[in-house]
Amino acid sequence: MDISAIELKEKIVSNEHIYLIDVREELEYHTYNIGGQNIPIGKLPQLIEDLDLEKSDEIIVICQRGIRSTTAQKILETAGFTNIRNLQGGIQAYRRINN
């Protein structure tokens, strides 16, 4: 299931407890991010076991445009996570609504 940039912003503004996983590379993450844990997509399969999350927790995956996060969503679902949401349009869409 996807989440729009507007929906995500509402969750952040209302201090809703959410888990953000940003699957961009470190340089991309440090250039601009909205918080969350930075786990580059290439490292995600190896680090899934290290996530301190319940399989039913809402997890929102983020990348630059929504392509890598779609892959991350599938990786997490294959690992048994059941409530994964992909940020539609990625961080680019989020930045557009915040300018």
> What is the model's pLDDT at position 17?
87
Task: Show which residues are catalytic.
Answer: 63
pLDDT tens digits for range 53-99: 999 999 999 999 999 999 999 999 999 999 999 999 999 999 999 87
Q: Closest by alpha carbon to 59, among 42, 79, 74, 73?
A: 73
Three-state DSSP class for residue 73: helix
Q: 2-97, which class in CATH?
A: alpha beta
In the structure encoding, which two tokens stand for residue 89, read together? Answer: 């349009």
The answer to whether 37 touches 20, Cβ cutoff 8 Å, is yes
pLDDT tens digits for range 12-35: 999 998 999 999 999 999 999 999
Instruction: Provide the whole-model pTM.
Output: 0.93
Three-state DSSP class for residue 50: helix
User: What average pLDDT score do residues 31-43 get?
Assistant: 95
